[in-house]
Amino acid sequence: MSVINNSTPYNLYNQDFVFRIGAFPSEPDVFNCFTNLPKKPCERPGAEMELVQIVMTLLNWNWTVIDVVKEYGIEAKFGDPLPNDPKNYTGIIGLLQKGLIDMAIPSMKITVKREKEASVIFSYPFRFFQQIYIVATPTEADFTNFIFATFTTDVWLLIIASIISVIILEFCILMLEEKEMPMMQKISDSFTEPISMILRQNVKRHKSIAHFIFQGNLLLMFVVIYVYFQCTMNSRLTASKKEELPFTNQKGFLDLLEKGKRFPTYSEDKMPDCSNEENCKRMPEIFKNNPIRIARTFDGIISQIKKGGIYYADYDVDFIPGTASVWSYKDSLTVIRDPTGLRSLGGFAFNKKNVRLRNQFNNILTRIMGGTNQINLASGYNERKPSSSNLVIPQVVRISLTKHLEQLFLIFGVGLGISISVVVIEILLSKFITIRQLLIRRFK
């Protein structure tokens, strides 16, 4: 594409003037065949590109689209101030400053710094951005510990203490109630009767009303515990439990990075905008000790996120309804919108000399502003991310030996081993007693 150089100011009767729109690919706003416009049709040039196309058609201007990456060899970035010359910018803003393009797309954040230092002007804001963080969806999928993890350690200790107390109390009742019963049978019954009742087996009838009340109370307590245990264990087996979000604001984000539990990931070596004075003081030191892991593609970013990275960006609040939303089911990603983060407006940038053109552009933009969501949502460019807190996703889990029943078979194996050991001991003990009796008879 040859670069068009405008030297004549725009007016409605000047057919030689061409309004130059500089753009770089940024899905879903600018992508696909956007450089074909306006000479050739493009079915899906991007959400913002369609918006600009409508405005240009209504204005009836001569216009062209320049792919600034291919034409000028710049990176697909908005641009930053040069280190030794903060008034001059790199990227697409730098092209606006030099007058090589008249308007920049995709939309960018409207900031005082860009207006004053970069000398660019903006259209009416039609995007509203807020800081977001994308993390791997937190889930608990460890099924192997489903038996003991059903109750907390305190509950297990309380149950064991209760059973021991019941056995002692049962022994005391038998001592008072069954005076003619042999001592060994009392000890045996004090163990077997409570355990039989817990396992809902038949037990002996006793004459004492107190004993009946005691056993009924014990039965009621363990029926409730049994139901709780069964329900909780089933849920742990068949459904992964959603954990709490690792953080909900920038302070929590920085706390995690400071502890080294997570790391930041981004497409370039650039920290997020700090949301308050305290975060501004902490951020440089934290990012120095826990540096950004750069990924140039979104697939690379997803890979970093799954390794424990946190991706940060600014995103249109219209598409994120809640604090936590589902970014991707396929990749199992959650997006966290920072309610304390900076809110910023977004619009198209123009060369400062094009005030009159910008004003005419704004007049049409305000007339079609109500249709921006329809372009974004109905055309399938964007979608409102569903809130993760309102979702119940049914899961079909096939129970496997290694993933689910390992602990159960381990307990069964230990019990089987104990049983075999007891049988061996009983056999040896029986033989020992038999031999002892034979020796006693022989030497009498």
Per-residue pLDDT of the chain (444 residues), as tens digits, is: 445 555 445 554 567 789 999 999 998 999 999 999 999 999 899 999 999 999 999 999 999 999 999 999 999 999 999 989 989 999 999 999 999 999 999 999 999 999 998 889 999 999 999 999 999 987 654 555 667 777 778 888 888 887 888 788 778 877 877 777 888 888 888 888 777 776 666 666 665 566 667 667 777 777 777 787 888 777 766 665 555 789 999 999 999 999 999 999 998 899 998 989 999 999 999 999 999 999 988 899 999 999 999 999 999 988 988 888 888 888 889 999 998 877 889 999 999 999 999 999 999 999 998 888 888 887 778 888 887 764 444 454 555 556 555 666 677 678 667 867 876 887 888 888 888 888 887 776
Cis check: omega of the bond before 106, within 30 degrees of 0:
yes
pLDDT for the residue numbered 391: 47
- The CA distances from residue 347 to 105, 108, 123, 416, in Å, are 9, 6, 5, 72
Query: What is the pLDDT, as a whole number, of residue 392?
Result: 46
**Neighbouring C-alpha atoms within 13 Å toward the C-beta of 375:** 21
Contacts 24+ apart (CB under 8 A), 374-381: 375/47, 375/50, 375/51, 376/47, 376/318, 376/319, 379/44, 379/47, 379/50, 381/28, 381/29, 381/44, 381/46, 381/47
Beta strands in 81-215 (DSSP E): 81-82, 85-89, 103-109, 120-122, 127-136, 139-140
Q: What is the pLDDT of residue 204?
A: 65
Taking alpha carbons only, the member of 119, 2, 7, 8 closest to residue 72 is 2
- Tokens 């034979």 identify what position? 438
Q: Which residue, 84, 66, 50, is CA-closest to 378?
A: 50
Q: Quote the pLDDT of residue 105.
A: 96
Determine contact, residues 20/71, Cβ cutoff 8 Å.
Answer: no
Predicted confidence at residue 200, as pLDDT, reads 63
Q: According to the model, what pLDDT value does residue 1 have?
A: 43
Bridge partner residues of 140 (DSSP): 241
Check residue 239 and give its pLDDT: 62
Radius of gyration of the chain (CA): 37
Closest CA to 73 of 57, 92, 86, 55: 92
Determine the Cα–Cα distance for residues 367 and 364; give it in Å rounded to an integer: 5
Q: Nearest-CA neighbor of 19 among 127, 103, 79?
A: 103
Other residues' Cβ atoms within 10 Å of the Cβ of residue 337 = 20
Do residues 14 and 21 touch, judged by C-beta distance below 8 A? no
